[in-house]
Every structure is written in C-alpha cells, then in structure tokens.
Amino acid sequence: MDTRPQAIMRALRKIAPSVEFSVEHYEDPTEVWEGPDPNPRDEGFEAYSVTVSASAIWKGKRLTGNAYLSGVWEKPDKIDPDIGGYLPQMLELAAKELYIVSGKKIPEAVKAHMYLERVLAERHQEQERAYRGHPFRQWEPE
C-alpha cells in the first residue's frame, strides 16, 4: 500500500468522491519556541497551525469535520505535505468528525475512515520493519 501523501489523497478521491479533503497551513506568529535547541526562526523556519478538513454536502448543507495541529515548524518554501507524518491521523480524525456532525448520515466518511485506519496500520508496520534493522536496537521480541 502506498502511504505517501499524494497517494492517500488520490485514494480518498476514489473511495469517498462526495467528501472533499483539504489541508491548510496558517502562519502562526504567536507560536513561541520552547525547545532546548536553537530557535528555528533563526534558521528560516516559521511556525504554522494546520487544519485538515473533510467536507460534504448533506441535504443542501455543507458539513465539515476538522482536525487541528499547532506548532508545526516548516520553511515557508518547503511545506511538508505529510505534516511530519501526522497527515493520515489528521485525515482520519476529520473524517470521523464529519460522520459525527452529519448525524451518522454520510457513509463515505466511514469508508474514508476505514481506509485511513489501514494506512495508519501500514505506516506502523513500516516503522516496525525499519526499527527491526536499527543498529541500536537492544532487545528482540520473544
């Protein structure tokens, strides 16, 4: 399964054609760096808040589910479409919220949610496979 951002968005358009998924980055000048490392702004990074939305028309009304993430540090000319790996989780949350705000009336939101759960599981497996080969791994499962 292809879990890259472009492939995920392409699959969602096929699985849930009546649901519009979008990702918006908003510059957040109020975000303050509190980490031990140097301030990312000194290296050309900006802080963003990200909103991931799932929208659909139901009985003539536009309904939307959202997921939010703040404190995303990116270079303005190099925005990460995967939101640091959080894209599938945020899409899943937005689809779930859309289903809830619709009164459980938009079945394509459920199909999208189920697909995104599979994406998250595949990504977890990818991380596990990468971890198994890591030279600093100290233990082996029984």
- The reply to whether 139 falls in a domain is no
Taking CB atoms within 8 Å and a gap of at least 24, the contacts of 67-71 are: 67/91, 67/93, 67/94, 67/97, 70/28, 70/31, 71/28, 71/31, 71/47
Dist CA 45 CA 100 (whole Å):
36
Per-residue model confidence as pLDDT tens digits over 13-31? 999 999 999 999 999 999 9
Domain tally, the chain: 1
Per-residue model confidence as pLDDT tens digits over 27-84? 999 999 888 889 999 999 999 999 999 999 988 999 999 999 999 999 999 999 999 9
- The reply to whether 135 falls in a domain is no
- The reply to whether 104 falls in a domain is yes
> For residue 123, what are the domain limits?
5-127
pTM of the model: 0.87
- The reply to whether 136 falls in a domain is no
> 16 CB contacts (<8 Å, ≥6 apart)?
95, 108, 109, 111, 112
Helix (H, G, I), strand (E, B) or coil at 37: coil
Dist CA 90 CA 42 (whole Å):
29
- Does residue 134 have a pLDDT over 80? no
Query: Tokens 């000048």 map to which residue?
Result: 29
- The reply to whether 70 falls in a domain is yes
The secondary structure element, H or E, covering residue 107 is: helix 107-132
Give me the mean pLDDT over the 89-97 stretch: 96
Nearest C-alpha neighbor of 73 from the set 16, 32, 133: 32
